[in-house]
Structure 1
Amino acid sequence: MVEPERTARAPRRTARGEATRARILQAAVDLMTVKGVAATTLDEVRAASGTSKSQLYHHFDDKAALVQGVIDRQAEDVFARQEVLLKRLNSIRGLERWRDAIVQRNTLRNGAYGCPLGSMASELSDRNERARSALAVHFETWEGLIAQGLERMRAAGELRQDADPQRLAIGLIGALQGGYLLAQTQQDSTPMKVALDMAIDCIRAYQA
């Protein structure tokens, strides 16, 4: 009789272990945001997080694993800020509130550092397939949240039936990423607002 395979379980972390892991991740996020992924070393992360080499390697096997953790952490932060607005999106005014929240946050940094996910995608997508794949999933989730809101608008008669929520969502994300880049190079969030306004105007053209 063949015994069924047993699924390996990941070891459960203690509250102290979770806190250490979170501290390492936050240090990596901060360093990689400012310096970039390639220029950030594990020794710098260890020093910034106040952890030992054994602690760092206990939670992350190597730099690639740490980068994956940073990508997921950045995605969590982005969606935590935007999900409330996007899950209630059902009008043009709702789109404008979403735009205002993003532009205001970008203004606080004078456009510096760009999009948390977009900046990593720009640096990693052509060099790290695992990172590219993870980032693509997060961008699909982001587009999906917007598309669902636009679909609600279409179902409610806010948008015409010939409006394509998926295509409009991709266009809106494209305008947002371009806006992040222009704001970063000019250290001014005005270009971001212009790009988003134009994308929202395109959606407004489909109003019933």
Structure 2
Amino acid sequence: MNRGLTAKGRATRQRIVAAASLLIREQGVAETTLDDVRVATATSKSQLFHYFPEGRSDILAAVAEYEAAQVLEAQQPYLGDLSTWESWQGWQKAVLDHYTELGRRCPLGSLTAELGKASPQARAIISALYDSWEAALVRGVEAVTSDGPEESRARARSILAAVQGGVVMLQGTGRTDYLEAALPAATGALRPVSA
């Protein structure tokens, strides 16, 4: 999408994507119009279609990519190396801190609940996010347990579901206590007996 754009063009496109992401987090996909994006970014209709020729579907795909990157970035550097219990604790703290800070304006809920229904292209991006996230968690589970591949995958999926469930409940209630309870419960079995 960014090929052939100047540095200024890439920056403008990124500014539009970031603003559209924020609007979607606050208003939802269905309620966010191209006019809303234009107003929030002070861009003309022709400028918007210059960067997003397919209009709404292009913007939604770009927002899905942007938000997916935000979800994974917020978990670094821990997600890249979950080879010790200490790194798992650091990851868990990073996740809790991140979603506590964002509250109801979290990209994960927006991605799953809103953008995942928006288009096949956005759904594919979100599916790739979860696949990448799961793979990193599987590597981490395998590093700290003697689980086989299937058990490692099942543990990783339960951890991922704990995060997602906690985030969905956070969006519905404004409270992080569900995530604060679910995440340690999901990762607790990874703790070494001596720790």
- Structure with greater helix percent: 2
Deviations 1:5-62 (A, max 9, x none): xxxx985111111111111111101101111111100011011111111111001021
User: d(CA) in 1 for partners of 2:113 and 2:23?
Assistant: 17
1:48-127 aligned at under 5 Å gives the runs 48-61=40-53, 62-109=55-102, 111-114=103-106, 116-126=107-117
User: d(CA) in 1 for partners of 2:181 and 2:66?
Assistant: 29
SS of residue matched to 1:43: helix
SS of residue matched to 2:39: helix
The residue type paired with residue 46 of structure 1 is: R
Which stretch of the first structure deviates more once superposed, 71-80 or 160-169?
160-169
User: d(CA) in 2 for partners of 1:58 and 1:130?
Assistant: 20
The Cα of 1:205 is off from its aligned counterpart by: 8.0
User: d(CA) in 1 for partners of 2:14 and 2:64?
Assistant: 13
Q: TM-score, normalised by structure 1?
A: 0.83
Aligned to 1:132: 123
- Taking only aligned residues, the RMSD between alpha carbons, in angstroms, comes to 2.3
* Count of residue pairs brought into register by the alignment: 192
User: d(CA) in 2 for partners of 1:16 and 1:70?
Assistant: 19
Deviations 1:91-137 (A, max 9, x none): 2222121111111122224x3134x1343222244453222222111
Residue 147 (1) aligns with residue 138 (2) = yes
Compared CA separation, residues 46 and 86, structure 1 to 2 (3 A): same
Q: Give unpaired runs (5+ residues) of structure 1.
A: 1-8, 154-158
Aligned to 2:22: 30
After the TM superposition, list the runs of 4 or more consecutive aligned residues in structure 1 that deviate by more than 4 angstroms: none
Deviations 1:138-164 (A, max 9, x none): 1101111111222222xxxxx124472
Aligned mate of 2:177, from 172, 190, 208: 190
User: d(CA) in 2 for partners of 1:94 and 1:142?
Assistant: 16
- Asked whether the 8 Å contact 1:160–1:206 carries over to 2, the reply is no
